[in-house]
Amino acid sequence: MTVTEEKGTISIHTENIFPIIKKFLYSDHEIFLRELVSNAIDAVQKLKRLSSLGEYGGELGELKVKVSFDEAAKTITVSDNGIGMTADEIKKYINQIAFSGAKEFLEKYKDAGEGNQIIGNFGLGFYSAFMVAERVEIQTLSFREGAQAARWASEGNTEFEITKGERTERGTDIILHVAEDSKEFLDKFRLENILKKYSRFMPIAIEFDGKVINNTAPIWAKSPNDLKDEDYLAFYKELYPFSEDPLFWIHLNVDYPFNLTGVLYFPKLKNDLSLHREKIQLYSRQVFITDEVKDIVPEFLMLLHGVIDSPDIPLNVSRSYLQADSNVKKINTHITKKVADKLSELFKADRKGFEEKFDDIGLFIKYGMVADDKFYEKAKDFVLVKNTDNQYATIEEYRQKVEPVQTDKEGSVVMLYTTDPGKQDTFIQSAKKRGYDVLQLNGILDSHFINTLESKFEKVSLKRVDSDTIDKLINKEETISGILNDEEKKNLKEWFEQTLNDKNLSISVSPLPTDELPVTITLPEFMRRMQDMAKTGGNPMFGSFPTTYQVTINENHTLTQEILKADEAKRRQLIRHVYDLALLSQNLLSGSHLTSFIQRTLDLTK
C-alpha cells in the first residue's frame, strides 16, 4: 500500500455543497470542533472494536484524542490514535462525501454487539471544518500492517491533493489553517469552552492544554444496577453545581423501537415555573447536541432536569421537521409514560414518602394532568389533595370521604377548597362546623387543575369556601326558615345599600343559621376563577371585569334584630359595624375603615 501522489477533484453531488454547509447545516460555527472530535473518537472506538474482534493485533496504548492550537501558525489540530486512514480510504471516505464510512463500518459490524458505540451519522461532519478553516490538512497513518502515512489537503473548494504523509504512529491529525474571519477560535478559553460544552461526556479521553476535559463514563451510559443513589446525586451536582438536591430520578433505558438512554431528575420546584426550563440536555451517543429540547420532551416535562441521549433523534434539521418526526413523537410518548410509571411506582411502594414529597412534586404532576390527557389518565390515581388538617388523599379517596355529607340536592359532590387558610379561616370554621371538609388548593396551577378535575370527574364540583354563604355553598334540600317578613327584609336591604353606598356590592337578605355571622361577603366562584385564570395566563380580559361582591345579611342573627329596632343613628353605626366585621373576617379591613372600626368598637363598649 504505497501512496501515489495525486491531485484531483472531489466528487460531490451538489456543486455548491460548501455554502450549504456554511449557511444551513450549522448556524453555529463552533460546531466544527464537535464534529472533528466526534470523528476522532469514532476512529479510536473503531480501533478498540477491531482489537476486541481480533482484527487488530497491535498494542492499543493509551487511547485518546488531543486538541491543540498554535496561535502564531494559526492552526487548530485534532489528533487521535485511532484507526487512521490509508490514501485509498481518504479517497473513499473523505473525497466521496456522500459515501459514509461510518455507515459501511456499522453495516459490517452491526451484529457484533457494541457497534452502537460509534457516533452517528448526523451531518457532513468532516466538512464542517471549512466553516472556520481556509485550508484543511489531514496527516494520517492507518492501523493496517505495512500502511504508509498519507497526507491530504484541500482549500475547501472541490480540489484536493494527496501526498505522502509524515505521521509515524497510528492515527490521524486534522490540521485546520484557520481563516482570517475565524481567528476568534485561536483562543484557549474559547476552545476549552466549546470542548466543555459539546465533549464533556464523550466516551474517550480528550486532552486539551495538558489536561483531560471530559468524563468518559457519565451515569446515563451505565447500567442502573451498577449505580447507587450517591452516583445519581453526584452526577446531578456535576450538571447543576448550584442546585439543591433533586427529589428523585428516572433512569431511562430503551432499545426498542428506538434507542434512548438518560437520567431525568425531579428538582425541587420553586413557584416560578420559568426558572426551571432548559435544564434538560440532549446528547447523541454522548455528544452534546442542545439544551433546547422543546420538541423532543413534552412541555410539562421541561420542568425536569437531566440528560437524554438518543442516536435516533434527527439532528441538524428544522424545527417543524422535528415535530413531525415519528421517532420524536414516540420518544415523547415514551418519556411521558415512564415518568407516570415512576410516580405511580413511588406512590404504591411508599405512600408516606410520596405524601412527604408531594408539596414539591404536586405542581409538576398537576401541570402534566392539565397539559396531557395520557398523563392525566395515569396520574388521576396518584395525584393527591391535602385538606386543612394536612391529611392527604387521592381524588377518588377524597370523593368517597366527603360524599355522605357534601352531596348537594342535584347529587353532585361539592368539594370545598381554600386558597388561603389564614384569610379564609372564618369560612373554613363555618364549613367545619357543618361537618364539611376543606381542601388546600393554593398552588399557582390549581385554578387550572380544578377545571381539569371538574371536566373529568362526573358529578363533582369544586367551590372555594368563601364563594357563597354556607347554606348555598352546598345546596341541600333542607331550607332554613327565616324570621323576618317581606317588609322588614326590604327595609333592611335599603338601609344597607344607603349606608354602605358602594355600587360594587350586591346586597341580599337570607335566612342563615344563627351561629353564622350577621353579614357575609363573598366573591362568586365563577368570577374569582376568571380572575385567577387571567393571572396564570388565561384570557386577560377576564381580569378586567368589575368585581361584584355578594353581601348577604343573615336575617336570623340577633344583631339583625337590633338593627331593625334601632334609631337611625344607631342603625347606621350597627350596619357599618357588622359590615366591617365581615370584612375583618376576610382580612379585607384596612386603612381609615379599620381606624373608624376600632373607634366605633370603643364607643360601643362605653
- Tell me the per-residue interface mask from 374 to 393 with ligand ATP, x by CB under 6 A, - otherwise: --------------------
Q: Which is nearer to ligand ATP, 28 or 278 (CB)?
A: 28
d(CA 425, CA 423): 6
Show the binding pattern over residues 551-580: x = contacts ligand ATP (CB under 6 A), - = does not: ------------------------------
CA-based radius of gyration for the chain: 36
Nearer to ligand ATP, 105 or 597 (CB): 105
39 is in an annotated binding site: yes
Per-residue contact string for residues 83-102; x = within reach of ligand ATP by CB under 6 A: xxx-------xx-----xxx
Distance, in Å, from the CA atom of 402 to the CA atom of 436, rounded to the nearest integer, reads 7
For ligand ATP, what does the binding mask look like between residues 16 and 45, x meaning CB under 6 A?
Answer: -------------------x---xx-xx--
Among 123, 262, 362, 368, binds ligand ATP (CB under 6 A): 123
* Alpha helix (H) residue ranges in 504-567: 525-535, 540-543, 558-565
* Candidate list 87, 124, 313, 369; residue touching ligand ATP; CB under 6 A: 124
**Interface segment toward ligand ATP; rule CB under 6 A; list 114-122, 395-403, 525-533, 563-571:** 114-122
Q: Is the dihedral of CA 278, 264, 330, 456 positive or negative?
A: negative
- Report d(CA 462, CA 418) in Å as an integer: 10
What is the DSSP secondary structure assignment for residue 71, as one 8-state letter? T
Window 151-180: residues binding ligand ATP (CB under 6 A): 172
CB 47 within 8 A of CB 63: yes
Considering the complex, what minimum distance in angstroms separates the CB of residue 137 from ligand ATP?
13
| Residue nearer to ligand ATP on the CB measure, 176 or 453 | 176
* Buried-exposed string 563-576: b where 16+ CB fall within 10 A, e elsewhere: bbeeeeeebeebbb
Q: Which is nearer to ligand ATP, 122 or 392 (CB)?
A: 122
Binding residue (CB under 6 A) for ligand ATP from 17, 48, 82, 279: 82
What is the rounded CA–CA span in Å between residue 284 and residue 263? Answer: 14
Residue count of the chain: 606
Residues 521-550 that bind ligand ATP (CB under 6 A): none
Q: Is position 287 an interface residue for ligand ATP (rule: CB under 6 A)? A: no
148 binds ligand ATP (CB under 6 A): no
Least Å from the CB of residue 89 to ligand ATP: 7
Tell me, by CB under 6 A, how many residues bind ligand ATP. Answer: 24
Residue 44: partners with Cβ closer than 8 Å, 6 or more residues away:
63, 64, 65, 80, 81, 82, 83, 204
Which CB sits closer to ligand ATP, 121 or 394? 121
Tell the smallest beta-carbon distance from residue 186 to ligand ATP (Å).
21
Dist. CA 277–CA 299, nearest whole Å: 10
How do strand 75-80 and strand 65-70 relate by DSSP bridges?
A: antiparallel
499 touches ligand ATP (CB under 6 A): no
Which residue lies nearer to ligand ATP by CB, 90 or 484? 90
Which positions ≥6 away from 441 have C-beta within 8 Å?
385, 417, 418, 419, 449, 450, 462
Residues 185-244 that bind ligand ATP (CB under 6 A): none
- Choose, by CB under 6 A, the member of 56, 69, 109, 122 that binds ligand ATP: 122
Identity of the residue, 99 or 526, whose beta carbon is nearer to ligand ATP in the bound complex = 99
524 vs 177, 454, 585, CA distance in Å?
Answer: 73, 17, 17
- Could you give the C-alpha distances from 486 to 471, 481, 493, 494, 571, in angstroms and in order? 20, 13, 11, 12, 19
Q: Cβ closer to ligand ATP: 43 or 335?
A: 43
Phi, psi of 504 (to 5 degrees): -85, 5
Q: How far is the CB of 118 from ligand ATP (least distance, A)?
A: 9
The stretch among 77-85, 394-402, 403-411, 457-465 that binds ligand ATP (CB under 6 A) is 77-85
**137 scored as a contact of ligand ATP (CB under 6 A):** no
150 near ligand ATP (CB under 6 A): no
Q: How far is the CB of 138 from ligand ATP (least distance, A)?
A: 8
Query: Per rule CB under 6 A, is residue 149 in the interface with ligand ATP?
Result: no
Among 30, 80, 466, 532, binds ligand ATP (CB under 6 A): 80
* Piece of 22-30, 115-123, 129-137, 351-359 that binds ligand ATP (CB under 6 A): 115-123
Report whether 101 belongs to an annotated binding site.
yes
Q: Measure Cα distances from 265 to 170, 286, 358, 538, 578 in Å.
A: 42, 18, 15, 29, 53
CB 216 within 8 A of CB 205: yes
Binding of residue 293 to ligand ATP (CB under 6 A): no
The answer to whether 109 contacts ligand ATP (rule: CB under 6 A) is no
Question: For residue 257, is the peptide bond before it cis, meaning its omega torsion is within 30 degrees of 0?
Answer: yes
Q: How far apart are CA 303 and CA 386, in angstroms?
A: 23
**Beta strand extents in 329-376 (DSSP E only):** none
Place of cell 466543555: 196
By the criterion CB under 6 A, which residues form the site for ligand ATP?
35, 39-40, 42-43, 80, 82-85, 93-94, 100-102, 120-127, 172
Which residues are known binding-site members for ATP?
A: 35, 39, 80, 85, 100-101, 172, 319
Residue numbering of the annotated binding site: 35, 39, 80, 85, 100-101, 172, 319
